[in-house]
Amino acid sequence: MSGRPPKKRIDDSPWPVDMFESDPRMDKLLDAQGWVGFGVYFYLCQQAYGTDGYFLRWGFDDSATTARKMGGRICAQTVLGAVEDCLSAGLFEKELFDRFGVLTSREMQRRYFALISDRICKAADERLLLGESRPEK
């Protein structure tokens, strides 16, 4: 045994092929922010999957850093507006963002825990888990 902490991240993330057809929250984001807003949402979800797996520690102060990393003339105000619209539309859970400074959703958690179902260690912060997305022990 190597003594390393258990891997949290996932290497590939699944996205439903019908996400633009079946989710009115996506319609709200696209209406408010266009494809740039979706790009911010996608980028932040990928950041979550690539770090803690089912959530991303993030605050509005991170808008400029996120914009810089995304590039493509995206500015901090664009990131800020996109995140606010994601929270408003329910693409990210507003209560958990307000309480703990994390971006997450039921869908992110459900996909993440399904993908790591074969891992031995599935440690999770109970305060951040949403309903049926809880990992099986």
Q: pLDDT digit string (tens) for 38-87?
A: 999 999 999 998 888 889 999 999 999 999 999 989 999 999 999 999 99
Say if 110 falls within a structural domain: yes
Window from 56-60, 66-70, 93-97, 122-126 with minimum mean pLDDT: 122-126
Distance CA 127, CA 119 (A): 21
Say if 41 falls within a structural domain: yes
Say if 97 falls within a structural domain: yes
Q: Which residue has the higher pLDDT, 123 or 82?
A: 82
Q: Is the pLDDT of residue 131 over 60?
A: yes
Q: Structural domain tally of the chain?
A: 1
Its domain, for residue 32, covers 19-131
Q: Over the range 7-23, which residues count as b (16 or more CB within 10 Å of their CB) and which as e?
A: ebebeebeeeeeeeeeb
- Mean pLDDT over 106-127 rounds to 79
Say if 30 falls within a structural domain: yes
- Check: CB of residue 60 under 8 Å from CB of residue 92: no
Say if 136 falls within a structural domain: no
Whole-structure pTM value: 0.85
Say if 10 falls within a structural domain: no
Say if 13 falls within a structural domain: no
Say if 9 falls within a structural domain: no
Q: Is the pLDDT of residue 4 over 60?
A: yes
- Bridge partners of 57, per DSSP, are 102
For the CA atoms of 10, 15, 16, 22, what is the dihedral angle to 10 degrees?
A: 130
Q: What is the pLDDT of residue 3?
A: 63
- Mean pLDDT over 97-105 rounds to 97
